[in-house]
Structure 1
């Protein structure tokens, strides 16, 4: 029997309210070896979730973004046990700067695929969650792509594009001759997956996400009816540490057009 989504939501909500919100925009930041930002809130939230999850479900291992690279390798190489995959604070730069777009991401990976996914936004008190094969929800409301309501053509779409991780020719072409109507970049991958699932934007492009960036979000988006693949045409989820590119859309129709446009202009090796 898998853990209850409702119980997991309550754990995330309580932890985020006690560990993240009190320090929002008033926290010390540090630079990690890879150039990314980490704060005391990242570390405190990870410790809190590791303890809370172990207390209720000791049978599962725990992988958190703020663990060492050696620990990441050990945990992703292990087999036979379920694995919590956690980003305790996705959007740390936003959080430290006082920008209200950050989230906690939690996935339960069993047999090298995500079975449960939750992404909690404590600012808006929005919890996106999904169980494989059982659909996705935002709090208690079912998510599902409304194709008659969403745009049917790329030129009418809002796209979320992370330009920082694209190569220069691709980024320049998208900036100069975009196929979509307008573009955004929010800075928290797990929450971007969920906003795509909810139709708040329609297309998504990212040059490289880590396991904890996409593990929960890609399940939520898929269960809401969206489609995604890497730029090379592979499934997004991979039980490993190598970054994965993302090409995604809120509906299969938009995904087909978006992926074809990218392939036609540059090919997958340009992402």
Structure 2
């Protein structure tokens, strides 16, 4: 089954709609609302629930043939969506809710379309910077409708900036990274979807995260792939899997840089 976004008009319309909804439902609430704590300890705000409701309505109206897997849906609904024969949307209405709830302007809306168990289209919108990262399989990646290509130079690790999430790494690896880092400097921003996109844009050369969900990485993974970047899991498998379970992610601006980075990590385990 072909996906609907080979057509540029449909793709452009979806991007414009998501940007508009993000400004209306997410950015308009920034610095204005509190949050509640979910059972898993993560945060939930009115922006999360409102954005998911509005995007769900949009997608059901325009593309009713696809199911929707939203972060704020129940596990049963998520699994049913993933099993849908036509494919499904994967939505994170606010990726970086902790940042959002604490008035830190680094969060995003992430949306991907999976067909036959693979991402075919994805977008990540950063409303604080008005930056829209997007990709369609085989058609390349874009930032605000301009081609996005990852740098293809291969710097030594000691000159790389790493986007590293220490919190979700095993303690031995986190410790050696903190005390004997192979890179020049490290950052941790708090939105997985944007992390992938920033590596795609060369805003950091290497990336490491120990435990991310499908809705965190589906769109960003495709954007990095289409931009010319590369990734694998800590155990050298493909990061993307058509399942809800958590995944580790090692990524870089290109395959040769990924090889250097992953080989170094392997020597520490």
Return the TM-score normalized by structure 2.
0.95
Is 1:38 paired with 2:41?
Answer: no
- The 5-angstrom pairing of residues 1-271 of structure 1 reads 1-3=3-5, 4-76=10-82, 78-148=83-153, 152-266=155-269
Q: Deviations over 1:42-62 (max 9, x none)?
A: 000000000011111111111
Tell me the CA shift for residue 259 of structure 1: 0.5
Tell me the CA shift for residue 73 of structure 1: 2.3
Q: 1: CA distance between counterparts of 2:34 and 2:162?
A: 32
CA contact (8 A) 2:95 2:191 kept: yes
Give unmatched runs, 5+ long, in structure 2: none
Q: 1: CA distance between counterparts of 2:81 and 2:152?
A: 39
Partner residue, 1:269: none
Q: Hey, which bits of structure 1, 4+ residues long, moved more than 4 A?
A: none
Give unmatched runs, 5+ long, in structure 1: 267-271
Q: CA RMSD in A?
A: 1.0
Aligned length: 263
Tell me the CA shift for residue 142 of structure 1: 0.6
Q: 1: CA distance between counterparts of 2:152 and 2:91?
A: 32
Q: 1: CA distance between counterparts of 2:188 and 2:142?
A: 23
Return the TM-score normalized by structure 1.
0.95
Tell me the CA shift for residue 140 of structure 1: 1.6
Tell me the CA shift for residue 35 of structure 1: 0.4
